[in-house]
Structure 1
Amino acid sequence: METKKDTFSDFRQKYQRYLKLEKGYSPNTLDAYMRDLQKLLVFLKGEDISVVDAKLEDIERFAGAVRDLGIGARSLARILSGVRQFYNYLVLDGYLENDPTELLESPKQPQHLPEVLSTEEVDMLEKAIDLSKWEGHRNKAIIEVLFSCGLRVSELTNLKLSNLYLEEQFVRVMGKGSKERLVPISPRAIEELGYWFMDRNVMKIKPGEEDYVFLNRRGAHLTRTMILIMIKNYAKDAGILKTISPHTLRHSFATALLEGGADLRAIQAMLGHESIGTTEIYTHIDTTTLRQEILEHHPRNIRYNS
């Protein structure tokens, strides 16, 4: 293959097509990958280095340049992950024999434990909802489904009636990379959906939106921003001082399962994590809880504290 004739634009277009058609990435994920790739392409072009001639030291200098811009370790790790995938594509497609990013190291990241809500705090969040308002039962169902199923907010906004198997107590979820998974749904969440459906059934729904579970007052499906604002407002009304978002309910779902004794692999499947490493963040949360339990209940510590 005449790789020398391919321009930066050619590589960008071919890689974008690969991510869309072969990897099946969503538009949001695709945009994120292409934005990060563009940073690398601009750097290499400024250094007068072609994509296929870049060496490990060139990629490391790129990482240093990004770091110098003040970009944090977590964002840099994400960018370098995209760079690795790009060069892996070039090898798979025959542009390169050797991957220059094979020995590329990711920056060390400080351990950050996400905020979680206890079951009592989730109850407080739901009690802050005014059920006399038309959206009350809808919002309570949203919170209960997020906490019951551990969905990403994008998965919730795209949830369809045709994906609900309420008699079997399962929902079918379309996750990242258009990957489907079946997730159990609790009887409590099913009950709250039933209350919302009584209101939903009398709504005027926009054409093409009929299959979406959650709708706004104009009969169109909700956006992620609307749900974020709604949950933050209820947290404020409930007096919850933690910084929370819809994703907090997903973390709370996983943490509750782990503390209840669920297997990490089962949690990975329900969350739709491709790598078990992503799920292992919850083992750190559980270790914190375990340490507190030991301090409070182990006989040696009880005697010492006394």
Structure 2
Amino acid sequence: MFPIDNLIQDYLHYLTVERGLSANTVVSYQNDLTQFVKFLQKNDVNSFTVVERSDITNYLAEETAQKKANSSIIRSVTSLRRFFLYLSQEKVITNNPMTLIDTPKQQEHLPEVLSRQEVEQLLKTPNVSQPLGLRDRAILELMYATGLRVSEVINLHLADLHLTMGLIQTIGKGQKERLVPIGDTAAQWINSYLERSRPKLLKEKRSSFLFLNFHGNQLTRQGVWKNLKQQVRKAGITKNITPHTLRHSFATHILENGADLRIVQELLGHADISTTQIYTHLSKRRLSSIYEKTHPRA
């Protein structure tokens, strides 16, 4: 085992137990640090105490030469910055090599959003006469109605539903709990799934999870992705759609209908409103597009 692996494991434990970060986020940090350790190994550096600024810059230069995405390099810098700050706070190192490392500028990238017509096309795609189709319709309706992340959807339990009050309880990033309103339409589809589909999927098993797969077990992220790809293709939508696209579409559409940005922040569970502000750019882009198509002098 590479000697500094123990420090990484201690750090990952700290992120999980003390910071309360999600499993996916912790894995992301682990992957970034593992790649950095491989680079150190290759250059005969066997301790974090001797890592210098030049080691960091050489690593980032190699990442760039390998044509890694700008977002991946930014994430690597963030991971290394937080890790070395942890080592400094724990007195493992005396000099932090990340102190003078600048974070690369994020390239402006607006996420893909479905039009309202495309959302309607997608929602009507699943065959609701079948148990799996009814489940998929309930999932799509829920994601568009609430803006929940796919990880939040698959981790919903029956006890998290408060449909008579029009609310769903969920735990988002950083283990932060929030209540999200759900509209009547999505609530009706969930009730239909609970009555007509879930018992058939559950068979003789017992489970507290809301959404189940064909074998009566908890539905996975991969399962949602795979099913969505099929539904998008069937709906004839050519955009690059992921489960997060429904979250983007939810936020953009309610902003276009006059929702306050702070309300959208609360609904999405964003810790920082700057994360939510990207949706104002999406709304402006859509308004510009409508103007260009409709104004005779555009």
Same fold (TM over 0.5): yes
Q: Which residue of 2 aligns with 1:140?
A: 137
Q: 1:99 to 1:257 in 2, by over 3 A?
A: farther
Q: Which residue, 13, 34, 37 being the options, matches 1:17?
A: 13
CA distance in 2, matches of 1:230, 1:191: 21
CA distance in 2, matches of 1:124, 1:75: 33
Q: Which residue of 1 aligns with 2:36?
A: 40
CA distance in 2, matches of 1:118, 1:253: 10
CA distance in 2, matches of 1:224, 1:179: 20
Q: Which amino acid is the alignment partner of residue 25 of structure 2?
A: T
* Cα contact 1:268–1:279 (8 A) shared by 2: yes
Q: Which residue, 85, 91, 94 being the options, matches 2:91?
A: 94
Q: Which residue, 118, 133, 142 being the options, matches 1:121?
A: 118
Q: Which residue of 2 aligns with 1:83?
A: 80
Give the aligned CA root-mean-square deviation in angstroms: 2.3
Q: What's the CA shift string for 1:274-293, capped at 9, x where partnerless?
A: 33332222222112123234
CA distance in 1, matches of 2:141, 2:201: 24
TM-score in terms of structure 2 length: 0.90
Q: 1:72 to 1:201 in 2, by over 3 A?
A: closer
Q: Which runs of 5+ in 2 are unaligned?
A: none
* Cα contact 1:44–1:51 (8 A) shared by 2: no
Q: Which amino acid is the alignment partner of residue 29 of structure 1?
A: T
Q: Secondary structure at the match of 1:135?
A: helix
1:206 Cα deviation after fit: 7.1
* Cα contact 1:87–1:100 (8 A) shared by 2: yes
Q: Are residues 1:276 and 2:235 paired?
A: no
Report how many aligned residue pairs link the two structures: 296
- Taking only the aligned residue pairs, the percentage that are identical comes to 38
Identify the range of structure 1 (60-69 vs 74-83) with the bigger mean alpha-carbon deviation: 60-69
Identify the range of structure 1 (28-37 vs 257-266) with the bigger mean alpha-carbon deviation: 257-266
Q: Are residues 1:27 and 2:23 paired?
A: yes
Q: 1:220 to 1:63 in 2, by over 3 A?
A: same
Q: 1:129 to 1:277 in 2, by over 3 A?
A: same
1:192 Cα deviation after fit: 0.6
CA distance in 1, matches of 2:109, 2:283: 14
CA distance in 2, matches of 1:167, 1:265: 26
Q: Which runs of 5+ in 1 are unaligned?
A: 1-5
Q: 1:243 to 1:202 in 2, by over 3 A?
A: same
Q: 1:209 to 1:268 in 2, by over 3 A?
A: farther
Identify the range of structure 1 (6-15 vs 203-212) with the bigger mean alpha-carbon deviation: 203-212
Q: Which residue of 2 aligns with 1:228?
A: 225
1:260 Cα deviation after fit: 1.7
Q: What's the CA shift string for 1:144-184, capped at 9, x where partnerless?
A: 00101111111111111111111221111111232222211
**Superposition map of 1:89-238 within 5 A:** 89-96=86-93, 99-200=96-197, 202-203=199-200, 205=202, 209-238=206-235
Q: Which amino acid is the alignment partner of residue 27 of structure 1?
A: A
Q: What's the CA shift string for 1:33-79, capped at 9, x where partnerless?
A: 11111222232344344313333333122111222222111111111
Q: Are residues 1:263 and 2:257 paired?
A: no
1:255 Cα deviation after fit: 0.8
* Cα contact 1:116–1:249 (8 A) shared by 2: yes
Identify the range of structure 1 (84-93 vs 271-280) with the bigger mean alpha-carbon deviation: 271-280
Q: 1:131 to 1:73 in 2, by over 3 A?
A: same
